[in-house]
Amino acid sequence: MSNAELHDLLEVCKALANPTRLQIMGWLRDPSDHFAPQADPMEEVGVCVKQIQEKAGISQSTASQFMSVLQRAGLVESTRIGQWTYYRRNQERIAALPGLLSASL
């Protein structure tokens, strides 16, 4: 129950304490089941902000902010390709969450 772990877990909980952000994380698990095809392969690079915005029914600025929150919490990572920013799950970090829970909670 180190202090750093506790802080990490807190940031994760804060990031997920919003219904839309929680939903987005679920959609990103199987991107091709939830989003339309795009310029680059979503299974590799992730999904662009515009698609997430449309799917979630939120404004462009809110979508961008939400993805930043999820990224700062370590739950997603991003790749910039041309004019698009693709977001995908940080699977290593997510896989480590149960351990973080049992260590800190």
Please say whether the beta carbons of 70 and 76 come within 8 A. yes
End-to-end CA, the chain = 8
Q: Could you say whether residue 57 binds a copy of itself (CB under 8 A)?
A: no
Q: Could you say whether residue 96 binds a copy of itself (CB under 8 A)?
A: no
C-alpha to C-alpha distance for 42 and 92, rounded to whole angstroms: 18
C-alpha to C-alpha distance for 25 and 27, rounded to whole angstroms: 6
Q: Could you say whether residue 56 binds a copy of itself (CB under 8 A)?
A: no
Binder among 4, 9, 39, 44 for a copy of itself (CB under 8 A): 9
| Binding region for DNA (CB under 7 A) | 14, 17-18, 20, 48-50, 53, 58-62, 64-65, 67-69, 78, 81-86
Nearest distance from residue 70's CB to DNA, in Å?
A: 11
